[in-house]
Structure 1
Amino acid sequence: MARKWAGTAIVIYFLILVFMYWYLFNGDTSLPEKWVGTAADPATFLNARELMLSEQYSQIRNFMFFAYNAFDWIVYFFILLFGLSRVFERVAASQSKWRIVQAAVYLFLLSLLSYVVTFPLSYISYNLSKSYHISTQTFSSWMKDGLIDFWVNFGQMVIIVSVLYWLINKSPKKWWFHAWILSIPFFFFMMFIQPVVIDPLYNDFYPLKNKELETEILKLASQADIPAEHVYEVNMAEKTNALNAYVTGIGANSRIVLWDTTLNRLKEKEILVIMAHEMGHYVEKHIYIGIAGYLILTFAGLWLTARLMNSIITRYGKVLKITGIGNLSSLPLFLLVTAMLLFASSPLSNFVSRYQEARADQYAMEMLQDKDSAITMFQELTRSGLSQVNPPLLVKWFRYSHPTMLERIISVENYHTVEK
């Protein structure tokens, strides 16, 4: 039975790969005739080589995204199907009577196996980015970040899994609700410590060196009634050629952050457009909408996960080597179900995110009234990331938390500046 299920899973996986390859490499990503020759047309701001590379890189990167997600699912499925999860549980139980120690041992074995099995795809993704000159990171630096990821995720998961399975065993019917309640303070705690504890593990953050630019950014913040005292830059040039800026954290630990690549490649007016965009999120209270969305999706996700896990274990527990939902050996099923639910819900969450990003773009235009700088900034973002201006629909649904560059540039083109 296990061999039959494994064979079926492999066939389904390869059918997914074949479909996505056909869809991504044969889809029409050309611009509507109306926008050919305009500022939204990549042929007007990219040379022939950049056009070719952006199409190639985007196609391969998008294919890797779908391939990696489906591969994660099949890894969890095989860990259950071939009894590896039950072996890990027995090893963990033999090490200690303490549940938190058992969870730590089990998670280490599961995480190590997952890391090793998925490493080839991760390396292919890294090498792809390197070969197209998006990544500038050395192999040793990339490995260091990977190991930091491993231990940061491991530490968080030990806490989450220990509490989760304690709740499952204490309240088999309502564990998902109690887990949702406890996830709320944990979510805020992680948001609070992210800028000052976790992010500095990967990169160095320091106050913006260009004090004149910082003054201009803080002026914009003051106009928007944003309580900001400092702007930070982060040394990303040793890792990437891509551009980025963001606001992170909550309360006293909130930060406005600019990548040094953004500072090096964009003009001051273009940087101010990005900063005005980020401030638009604050003014529009998108952080509160995001928190509300997180609470709703987490509630629905945990409820669905509980129902699906109970149903699957009842019908297929013997095949998957799971004797009960309260056993640690059921964790890969929990991870599989939640991963698939997150993937399935991503078109909805991305749709909401794209709306918010469009609103932030609109706010930046209203604040600065600078169409030219906004357009050249979007064009440079396209060039630096070798992005498709008009990606295929499925890519937009599942990958794009921001409007496409076509939509963003068109929105700026259509904006009517106000005479001051």
Structure 2
Amino acid sequence: MKKRFIKGTLIIYPLYVLLVWLYLFQWADVGIPAAYEGTAADPATFMTDRELELSQEYSRYRNFLSFATIPLEWIIYIGVLVFGLSHGFKKFGERISRFRIVSIPVYVLLLSALTWFLTFPVDYAYRYLSVHYGISTQSFSSWMRDEMLGFWIGFIIMALLITVLYMLIRRFEKRWWLYAWVGLIPFIVLMMYIQPVIIDPLYNDFYELQNKELEEKILTLAERADVPADRVYEVNMSEETNSMNAYVNGIGSSLRIVLWDTTLNRLQEDEVLFIMAHEIGHYVMNHLYWNLFGLLVGSFIGLYAGYRILRFAFRKWGDAWNVKDMSDIAGLPVLYIVLSLLTFVATPVELAISRNAEADADRYAIEMTEDVDAAIGSFQELTVNGLSDVNPPALVKYMRYGHPTMMERIHMLESYNDEKSSP
């Protein structure tokens, strides 16, 4: 089995990477459709030749890295099983403690550390591209701090979830997926509540918006939309990036309206107000709660499908992997692979729903502000500062874009202007 794994990986993976390269750098059409040439959606009207060249390069390399590395974790998890590392991690955890509440987190830590180490070159490649093309301004030490912080936060959350899950699997052999889903509901709601007030501040400094006049205008927009906010927060992202962003997140008393300082520094006031109207639109149209509903439905389907697939996989290959049954923590890599594959299959649907929600928020924002020039200007500036590809290849759009392309968004704004001016 080891030889087949090595041989298959050395043949199939390089072929896959080659196909990805050919698609992105040779076959994909990156030109601007004739219907958009000369319009506000045409990057030639608001980007220099050099900026346009850099945006296409940066997007291609990032997309290549993203697609090329999709199978890497699957390969790692299969390798952990095939080479017996998973069984070794399990035995090490059991030597530390015979209690599963201790041995399972030890196993999760070992598997997480190995995966982090093997995928670190990919993370660094993303950082290199971002720095090379002038997007990231973050020092290496600061970036490593965020990497380690993310690792430990992820480990703590995953160790908790996996420990509870495997206790449920041992106790309820045929219904564990249902009880796990029920337990997931309060956990997801809790995470939505604590994310803005506990986790996000670990990475960046949040403080009240210094421009009180602008804050008053944003809060006026929020009041018109019945958004229960009494302050606007600013976050010092300029220490890390030249990109721009703003968002409304949290639920209940943890609700926050947040602006990156890069957005404040690079956009005009009316452009900032359009961006905030867009984010408020998400809140007004209950996109946060629809996302929660979608996550719960998706997790229900995913856990049930995972249960069925795991039963089949362990019956067929359990002995070869030295995994006793589904409740054996040594089989965790199989669970990771199955859930990852299910997530991959669901991604185009999730992104299509997200793009529709973003388009709705754009329409809400322009109807609220009625300032087409500011709206178009904000999107053009976002494109330039983020070196965004306004017209990505179809596969990239459907597998990576949670927003409509900038070409589509700007075209919608121009169409709104035409509709408004028509009798």
Structure 2 CA distance, aligned partners of 1:136 and 1:319?
A: 48
Residues 108 and 155, structure 2, Cα contact 8 Å, conserved in 1 = yes
Equivalenced residue count is 419
Deviations 1:359-387 (A, max 9, x none): 00000010011111111111111111111
Q: Which amino acid aligns with 1:11?
A: I
Structure 2 CA distance, aligned partners of 1:29 and 1:321?
A: 49
Q: Spell out the pairing of 1:29-68 with structure 2 (5 A cutoff).
A: 29-68=30-69
Q: Give the deviation of 1:7 after TM superposition.
A: 1.8
**Quick check: 1:403 aligned with 2:376?**
no
The answer to which of 12-21 and 299-308 deviates more is 12-21
Q: Give the deviation of 1:68 after TM superposition.
A: 2.2
SS where residue 402 of structure 2 aligns?
coil
Please name the residue that 2:15 is paired with: 15
Change (3 A) 1:403 1:203: same
Please name the residue that 1:378 is paired with: 379
Q: Which amino acid aligns with 1:349?
A: E
Please name the residue that 2:5 is paired with: 5
Residues 248 and 283, structure 2, Cα contact 8 Å, conserved in 1 = no
Q: Give the deviation of 1:311 after TM superposition.
A: 0.8
Residues 369 and 418, structure 1, Cα contact 8 Å, conserved in 2 = no
Residues 100 and 158, structure 1, Cα contact 8 Å, conserved in 2 = no
Structure 2 CA distance, aligned partners of 1:319 and 1:139?
A: 42
Residues 2 and 319, structure 1, Cα contact 8 Å, conserved in 2 = no
Q: Which amino acid aligns with 1:262?
A: T
SS where residue 193 of structure 2 aligns?
helix
Structure 2 CA distance, aligned partners of 1:411 and 1:43?
A: 18
Structure 1 CA distance, aligned partners of 2:372 and 2:159?
A: 49
Structure 1 CA distance, aligned partners of 2:296 and 2:9?
A: 33
SS where residue 257 of structure 1 aligns?
strand
Structure 2 CA distance, aligned partners of 1:362 and 1:170?
A: 50
Please name the residue that 2:124 is paired with: 123
Please name the residue that 1:185 is paired with: 186
Q: Spell out the pairing of 1:78-227 with structure 2 (5 A cutoff).
A: 78-227=79-228
Q: TM-score, normalised by structure 1?
A: 0.98
SS where residue 233 of structure 2 aligns?
strand
Please name the residue that 2:276 is paired with: 275
Residues 205 and 232, structure 1, Cα contact 8 Å, conserved in 2 = yes
Q: Spell out the pairing of 1:230-379 with structure 2 (5 A cutoff).
A: 230-379=231-380
Residues 13 and 71, structure 1, Cα contact 8 Å, conserved in 2 = no
Q: Give the deviation of 1:418 after TM superposition.
A: 4.9
Q: Give the deviation of 1:159 after TM superposition.
A: 0.7
Deviations 1:383-411 (A, max 9, x none): 11111100011111111111000110010
Structure 2 CA distance, aligned partners of 1:53 and 1:384?
A: 11
SS where residue 256 of structure 1 aligns?
strand
Deviations 1:36-64 (A, max 9, x none): 11110111111011111000000000011
Q: Give the deviation of 1:222 after TM superposition.
A: 0.7
Q: Which amino acid aligns with 2:315?
A: T
Residues 371 and 413, structure 1, Cα contact 8 Å, conserved in 2 = yes
Please name the residue that 1:74 is paired with: 75
The answer to which of 287-296 and 318-327 deviates more is 318-327
Please name the residue that 1:392 is paired with: 393
Q: TM-score, normalised by structure 2?
A: 0.97
Q: Give the deviation of 1:18 after TM superposition.
A: 1.1
Q: Which amino acid aligns with 1:47?
A: T
Q: Give the deviation of 1:13 after TM superposition.
A: 1.8
After superposition, the CA RMSD in angstroms is: 1.1
Q: Which amino acid aligns with 2:308?
A: R
Q: Which amino acid aligns with 1:165?
A: Y
Q: Give the deviation of 1:11 after TM superposition.
A: 2.2
Structure 1 CA distance, aligned partners of 2:226 and 2:10?
A: 55
Structure 2 CA distance, aligned partners of 1:268 and 1:319?
A: 63
Q: Give the deviation of 1:292 after TM superposition.
A: 1.1
Structure 1 vs Structure 2: percent identity of aligned residues? 49
Deviations 1:333-375 (A, max 9, x none): 1111111111111100000000000000000010011111111
SS where residue 28 of structure 1 aligns?
coil
Unaligned runs of 5+ in 2: none
Unaligned runs of 5+ in 1: none
SS where residue 320 of structure 2 aligns?
coil
Structure 1 CA distance, aligned partners of 2:257 and 2:285?
A: 16
Structure 1 CA distance, aligned partners of 2:293 and 2:108?
A: 30
Q: Which amino acid aligns with 2:281?
A: G
The answer to which of 74-83 and 86-95 deviates more is 74-83
Residues 77 and 332, structure 1, Cα contact 8 Å, conserved in 2 = yes
SS where residue 240 of structure 1 aligns?
coil
